[in-house]
Each structure stands twice: as C-alpha cells, then as structure tokens.
Amino acid sequence: MRVLGVDPGLTRCGVGVVEGTPGRPCTLVAVGVIRTDPDAPLPDRLLRLDTKLTEYIARFAPDAVAVERVFSQHNVASVIGTAQASGVAILAGARADVAVHTYTPSEVKAAITGSGTADKKQMTSMVTRLLRLEVAPKPADAADALALAICHVWRGGTQARIAAARTRVEEKGTRT
Amino acid sequence: MRVLGVDPGLTRCGVGVVEGTPGRPCTLVAVGVIRTDPDAPLPDRLLRLDTKLTEYIARFAPDAVAVERVFSQHNVASVIGTAQASGVAILAGARADVAVHTYTPSEVKAAITGSGTADKKQMTSMVTRLLRLEVAPKPADAADALALAICHVWRGGTQARIAAARTRVEEKGTRT
C-alpha cells in the first residue's frame, strides 16, 4: 500500500509518500515541501498548491491520501489559511479518485509513538527510525507528512482488515 | 462586466451571476444554491462543490469571481468547513483563469446599502431593488452571493479605472 501524507499549510505544505504493509516497517518513496509566496495573491497560492499536489498524485500514484484534520483550536491567525490548504489537498485526492482520509494530530502521534501527546522531537525521531533513514527528514512539515502516511498504512490496514472480517461474518450470517 | 458571486459554505453555498457596469443597475443572470449532504464524507462534499462551481464558471463565463472572505471571528464550529469551501471556490476561479477577488461582509454591506453594519433584511431588500426583481432571492445564501457580485461590479470597476489612470500617469512620466 502506497500512501501520500499531507501536512496542509499555505506557506509550507509538507508532502511525504511511503509504502508498506500494516505492522511492518514502511519505506520512504518521496518527501518534500510545497512552498507558496506569502506575498502572492491567495488565488495564485491555492492554484500552485493544487498543481503541485496533483503532480505528486499523478507521479507517485498513491492508493490513499492522508491529510491532517484542521481544528479551530489551531493558531487562530493561521487557521483559515490552513483550512483552505487542507480543502485543496482533500479535493486534489478526490479529483484523482484516490481515497482520502483525515487524522487528528493526536491520532497520528498515538500511531507513531504510542502516545497522543508526543512532542515534535519524539515524532521526528520515530519517523526517522521507522523509515530507517540516516538523517531526520527536514523541515518539520515534511516529517509530519511522513508520519501521517505511516499512520494511514497502519491504521488503514487495520480498518481494512476489520471491514473485511465484518463482511465475512455478515456473509456467513446470510448463508445460515 | 459579468461577475459570479460566491457565498462559501459546505452545506449551502450561494452562487449568483450578475452583469453590469459601475454606477448603473446590474442585471440578474443566474442565482442558486449548491447543497452538499452533511452526512457525506468530506472529500465527496468538496468534490461536488468544485464540480458545480466549475460548471457555473464554464456555463456563464464570468469576467471575475467574488468570494466572501472568511474570518476566524465566524462561528467557530463551522469556520473550518466554510474556509475549506472558500478555498475550493477561489481555486475553481483560479483554475479557470478567471480573476478572483475576496470581500469582507462589511465591505459588501457598505457597497450595497451604504452601511457596513446593515442587517440581513436590509441587504436582501436592497439586492431585490438593485436587480429590479419582483420577489426577493431566496435563501439568504443566494441573496448574499448576488450582493457580492454587485459589490464587485461597482468596486472592481472603480479599482480598474484607478489602475488605468495610474498606468496613464506612469506612461506619461516615462515619456517625459
């Protein structure tokens, strides 16, 4: 399973692609940051974000896109821009007919470190170790995007197995 | 000048197209509301919004798109969804290579009624009169979208004249 993780942001949007199966170490496919000029008009910034994300999806053909869920508890000054960027990221996945899932920061932290309150340093350290990288991915937005992708490989895989098990039980129920 | 006004929202997104020139009464071209199912997954909702807005732009070929600017002072519970919808609306205009402008609610109110603190009833009444309609446009989201479009025809026109005058002055400056 190949997953594109997106840490949405208007000035810096982290993107990371990993490949893996639940419970096993994932492999790094690609990582980067899409930047847009804070002085550019908003339509140009959103268009650049959309173009770059669409390129990532076309190039790496992920099976799913995992986007960080935006909360109103986020930094009030930047929450609108972050929400607009997340809307563009979710739409880019949907337009390419790729399944899109959103995860809260604490869901991602819990999946990667076992603790929903892990700090940045711990997260980056775990992402580096889980992907068996020699140096930590930088900047923080890139590491966060990889964490989202790993989270989805593991959680998505579990959810898929639960769904499949449910289907089997229901089919059995129908047959008896 | 033909303008598409968009009052962004995830459950109800108002859209209105008007045609006019600054200082003269505008003409209604089209008005409607794009609705998405609150129980549907977010990617499906944003995709529907994008598809419908893109259809509106292709069908009515506006010279500009005017979108209401989202503030963090908005209803905190719905601000994220509204911001995501506004991001999709701004992107739809940018992708179609149409100029996109954003206006605050008080800018729109001031343009339509002369007061930045006008209430809903006064706004709807003025939109109905300015477009010489026999009945008020409904629901409120549709009237708000028309108000945004009228605001842009008037303000955008003024700004274009100022920009043109500036260019003339600068060209004159270069020549001397």
ipTM computed for the complex: 0.86
Chain A nearest C-alpha distance from B112 (Å): 25
Strand partners, A19: A2, A27
Q: Taking 80 as the threshold, does the pLDDT of residue A157 lie above it?
A: no
Q: For residue B157, what pLDDT band results from cuts at 50, 70 and 90?
A: low
The answer to whether the CB atoms of A71 and B90 lie below 8 A apart is no
Q: Taking 90 as the threshold, does the pLDDT of residue A143 lie above it?
A: yes
CATH number at residue B97: 3.30.420.10
**Following DSSP, what letter does each residue of chain A receive, concatenated?**
-EEEEEE--SSEEEEEEEE--TTS--EEEEEEEEE--TTS-HHHHHHHHHHHHHHHHHHH--SEEEEEPP-TTS-HHHHHHHHHHHHHHHHHHHHTT-EEEEE-HHHHHHHHHS-TT--HHHHHHHHHHHTT-SS--SSHHHHHHHHHHHHHHHHHHHHHHHHHHHHHHHHHHHH-
Q: Which position among A50, A134, A141, A171 bears the catalytic label?
A: A141
Distance CA B100, CA B93 (A): 6
Chain B positions contacting chain A at CB under 8 Å are: 42-44, 46-47, 50, 70-72, 76-77, 79-80, 83-88, 90-91, 93-95, 99-100, 102
Q: Which position among B50, B68, B144, B171 bears the catalytic label?
A: B68
* Chain A residues whose beta carbon lies within 8 Å of the beta carbon of residue B70: 80
Report pLDDT for A78.
82
Sign, Cα dihedral of B162, B147, A50, A9: positive
Q: Taking 60 as the threshold, does the pLDDT of residue B173 lie above it?
A: no
Q: Which of A43, A84, A100 sits opposite B43 (nearest CB)?
A: A100
The answer to whether the CB atoms of B91 and A47 lie below 8 A apart is yes
Q: Taking 70 as the threshold, does the pLDDT of residue A90 lie above it?
A: yes
Q: Taking 70 as the threshold, does the pLDDT of residue A163 lie above it?
A: no
Domain that holds residue A28: 2-175
Q: For residue A73, what pLDDT band results from cuts at 50, 70 and 90?
A: low
Q: Taking 70 as the threshold, does the pLDDT of residue B116 lie above it?
A: yes
* Share above pLDDT 90 across residues of chain B, in percent, rounded to a whole number: 76
What are the backbone dihedrals phi and psi of residue B89, each rounded to the nearest 5 degrees, phi first?
-65, -45
The answer to whether the CB atoms of A88 and B88 lie below 8 A apart is yes
Q: For residue A119, what pLDDT band results from cuts at 50, 70 and 90?
A: very high
Quote the number of domains for chain A: 1
Report pLDDT for A25.
83
Q: Taking 90 as the threshold, does the pLDDT of residue B169 lie above it?
A: no
Chain A nearest C-alpha distance from B88 (Å): 6
Provide mean pLDDT across the span B121-133: 94
Strand partners, B6: B15, B67
* Chain A residues whose beta carbon lies within 8 Å of the beta carbon of residue B95: 47, 50
Chain B nearest C-alpha distance from A129 (Å): 32
Of the residues B6, B42, B65, B103, the best mutation for testing chain A's interface (the one with the most A CB atoms within 10 Å of its CB) is B42
Q: Taking 60 as the threshold, does the pLDDT of residue A17 lie above it?
A: yes
The answer to whether the CB atoms of A72 and B79 lie below 8 A apart is yes
Residue B141 a catalytic site member: yes
Which pairs count as long-range contacts for B70-73, CB under 8 Å and 24+ apart, including other chains? B70/A80, B70/B8, B71/A80, B71/B104, B72/A72, B72/A76, B72/A77, B72/A79, B72/A80
Report pLDDT for A67.
98
Question: Which tens digits make up the pLDDT trace of A29-48?
Answer: 999 999 999 999 999 999 99
Question: Which tens digits make up the pLDDT trace of B59-110?
Answer: 999 999 999 999 876 666 688 999 999 999 999 999 999 999 999 999 999 9
Residue B39 a catalytic site member: no
Q: Taking 70 as the threshold, does the pLDDT of residue A172 lie above it?
A: no
